Amino acid sequence: MHAIKRSKLATLLLILGAAYCLLPVLWVLIASSKSASELFSTFTLMPSTHLWDNLVDLNGYRDGLYWRWMANTALYAGVGAAASTLISAMAGYALAKFDFPGKSAVFNTILAGVLVPGVILAIPQYLLLAKLGMTNTYWAVLLPSFISPYGIYLARIFAAASVPTEILEATRIDGSGEWRTLGTVVLPMMRTGLVTVFLFQFVAIWNNFMLPYIMLGDDRLYPITVGLSGLLNQGASQPAMYTAVVTGALVSIVPLIALFLTLQRYWQVDLAAGGVKA
């Protein structure tokens, strides 16, 4: 009796939570089915039939610029996250499995890096990259995203938890080189954790606004966040743009949702794995 009642409450709470989280997504789904004149005039939650028209309009906006933004975002997030994962994995492994002078200094420095807000870094990063003549290029967004203190922090936890020291000793006795061991033994062992780091960094770059906003002047290099925010600004004086913004927002979250659903099992983020063990 008691148990059944509680499970109803549990179900209710979880469904309420899901509803709260889905409300804006539902709204954007409905809103993107409306034509520009319906958007703010018909009842908000009443769907309409113009989704396809809106997609066609979005596709037509300045010769398909929107898709270019999506492709750019995929490039920034994909390449950036891949490079960052590899770099983090190497660093995390070194910090977890080696003893060397300066280790704790390095680790504490990286931890401190986790705490620095992007807005603060953006201007000096811009000024420094401008000195190298690299602003307004893909590199301006890619290079700074290669380094992720948070990724290193996570990789260190994963390396500590998933790479047994005995196996490392064994490869050393076999005379295997350290870089070879890294490639053939360590990275495969850390695979699950590294997918998580990759996803983390992928989402972080996908969601980033400030860095590309400052670095890029050419809108053909924009990622989706900067592009959409520009459309929103234009919407202020050309309300027809709001439809493009809303439709664009909807389309932009589809790939990430797909990514989440397909890679669900990797979303097992144990921030304090070692802590539990100890």
Report the residue from 14, 56, 71, 167 that binds other proteins according to the rule CB under 8 A.
Answer: 14
Q: Footprint of other proteins on residues 43-72 (CB under 8 A)? A: 43-45, 62
Give phi and psi for 12, each to the nearest 5: -60, -45
Please identify which residue in 105, 133, 174, 262 interacts with other proteins, judged by CB under 8 A: 133
273, 161 Cβ separation under 8 angstroms = yes
Q: Do the Cβ atoms of 270 and 276 come closer than 8 Å? A: yes
Among 33, 72, 85, 135, binds other proteins (CB under 8 A): 135
Q: Which is nearer to other proteins, 56 or 123 (CB)?
A: 123
Out of 119, 139, 183, 192, point to the residue binding other proteins (CB under 8 A).
119
Residues 226-255 that bind other proteins (CB under 8 A): 228-230, 232-242, 245-246, 249, 252-253
Number of H helices and E strands in the chain, helices first, is 16, 0
Q: How many other CB atoms are there within 10 angstroms of residue 135's CB atom? A: 19
Shortest distance, position 206 Cβ to other proteins, whole Å: 7
Smallest distance from other proteins to CB 37, Å: 6
C-alpha to C-alpha distance for 12 and 184, rounded to whole angstroms: 48
Cα angle, residue 88 at apex, residues 117 and 221 outer, rounded to 5°:
60
Q: How far is the CB of 147 from other proteins (least distance, A)?
A: 4
Cα–Cα dist 202/260, whole Å? 11
Q: What mask of x and - would describe binding to other proteins in positions 210 to 229, judged by CB under 8 A?
A: x---x--xxx----xx--xx
One residue of 52, 105, 262, 276 binding other proteins per CB under 8 A:
276
Stretch 138-197 residues interacting with other proteins (CB under 8 A):
143-144, 146-147, 149, 152, 157, 160, 165, 172, 175, 178-179, 182
Give min distance, CB of 185 to other proteins, in A: 14
Least separation in angstroms between residue 194's CB and other proteins is: 14
- Contact at 8 Å (CB) between 163 and 190? yes
Distance of closest approach, residue 188 Cβ to other proteins, in angstroms: 16
**Residue 215 phi, psi dihedral angles, 5° rounding:** -75, -30
Angle, helix 138-146 to helix 118-131, in steps of 10 degrees: 130
Q: In angstroms, what is the minimal distance from the CB of 58 to other proteins?
A: 15
Q: Alpha helices of 32-64 — where are they, by DSSP H? A: 36-39, 51-60
Nearer to other proteins, 55 or 87 (CB): 87
Binding range to other proteins, per CB under 8 A, among 31-39, 48-56, 187-195 = 31-39
Nearer to other proteins, 52 or 99 (CB): 99
For residue 67, give Cα distances in angstroms to 39, 74, 182, 259: 23, 10, 38, 18
Rounded least distance, CB 52 to other proteins, Å: 21
For residue 48, count CB atoms less than 10 angstroms from its CB and return exposed for 0-12, middle for 13-18, buried for 19 or more.
Answer: middle
Among 55, 82, 106, 195, binds other proteins (CB under 8 A): 106
